[in-house]
Amino acid sequence: MNGEVLVFLILASLAVIGGLLMLNLKKVVHMLLSLVLTFLSIAGLFIMLSAEFVAVVQVLIYSGAVTIMMIFGIMLTRHQDEQRVQKNRVRTWVVLIGILVFFYTMYEAITRFVSVEQASELHIENTKQIGMALYAKYVIPFELTSVLLLVALIGAIVLAKREEEEEVKQE
C-alpha cells in the first residue's frame, strides 16, 4: 500500500462522509457545509487524476460559487431551519430499495470492467492541453456554452426579479 492509495482512501472516505453527513444532519446550512467537504475531496481526487485545471474549477465553482449561491438561497427564503421528520416513510423505503438494486447492478458492472491503459501525458501542461482542445476542437460547444450561460443569467434575473406591481405595492 503506497502513499497514493492512502491518499485516495482518505479523500474517498472524506467524500463519502461528507455525503452521509449531508443526509443525516438536521440543519440546512450544516448540510451544505458538509457537502463542501465532499466537493473539496473530489477536487483532490481530480488532482490525483492529473486534472489540475478541473480541480481548480471544481473548487472555484462548486465549493465557492454554487455553495455560496445556495446559502444565499437559504438566507433569502424563510425556511424552517430544521428538517421536519420524514412523513413519507413508504416512499423512502421504496427509493432505498430501488437505489440498492441500482447500486448492486452497477457494482456488478464495475467489478467486471477492466481497463489496462493509462494516459501518461495529461499532467504535462494540463491547462494548455485543455485550452488547445477547447479552442481548437470544441470551439462550437464552447461558444454554445457561453450562450447558455447568458440565457441562464437573463432567465435567472427575470425569474428572481419581483414583478412590477409588487414593487409598486412595496413602495
Partner 1 sequence: MTSVPLNAYLMLALILFCIGLFGALTKRNTVIVLISIELMLNAVNINLVAFSKLGMHPSITGQVFTLFTITVAAAEAAVALAILMALFRNRSTVQIDEMDGMKH
Partner 2 sequence: MCDKLLPYAWLIPVFPFVSFIMLLAFRHRLQAYSSYIGSALTGLSLVAAIVVWVTGWSVQSVQHTGVWLAFESVELQMGTWITPLNLVMLNIVAFISVCVHIYSHTYMKDERRRSTYFAWLGLFTAAMLGLCLSPNLLQFYMCWELVGLGSFLLIGFHFEEDKAKAAAKKAFIMTRIGDIGLLAGLILLYWQTGSLQFTDIYTVISSGELEAFHVTLISLLIFAGAVGKSGQLPLHTWLPDAMEGPTPVSALIHAATMVAAGVYLVAVLHPLFMASDTALTVVAVTGGVTATVAAVIAIAQTDIKRILAYSTISQLGYMMLALGSAALAAGVFHLMTHAFFKALLFLTAGVVIHHFKTRNIHQMGHAFSELRFTGMTFLIGTLAISGFPLFSGFFSKEAVLSAVWHDERYLLFSLALLTTFLTAFYMFRLFFIVFMGQGKPTSGPKKALSMALRLPIAALSVPAIGAGFLYTPWFSAFGNWITQWQTAQIDPGHEVPWWMMPSAIMCSLAGIMLAWVMYQKLRVPLRELPYLHAFTLRGFYMDELYHYTIKQPLQFMSTTTVYIEKFVVETVMESSSSFVKWVGKYGARLQSGQVQTYGAVGFVGLSILVFILFWTGGYF
* DSSP string covering 134-157: IIIISHHHHHHHHHHHHHHHHHHH
Interface of this chain with partner 2, residues 97 to 156, rule: CB under 8 A = 97-99, 101-102, 104-105, 108-109, 112
What minimum distance in Å lies between the beta carbon of 112 and partner 2? 6
Q: Is 171 helix (H, G, I), strand (E, B) or coil?
A: coil
Separation between Cα atoms, residue 125 and residue 144, nearest integer Å: 26
Report long-range pairs for 141-149 (Cβ below 8 Å, ≥24 apart). none
Binding mask 45-84 for partner 2 (x = CB under 8 A): ----------------------------------------
- Is residue 32 within 8 A of residue 75, CB to CB? The reply is no
Q: At what angle do helices 3-24 and 28-48 cross, to 10 degrees?
A: 160
What minimum distance in Å lies between the beta carbon of 19 and partner 2? 18
Q: Which stretch binds partner 2 (CB under 8 A): 55-63, 79-87, 94-102, 125-133?
A: 94-102
Cβ closest to partner 2, residue 68 vs residue 99: 99
Residues lying near partner 2 in the complex (CB under 8 A) are found at: 88, 91, 94-95, 97-99, 101-102, 104-105, 108-109, 112
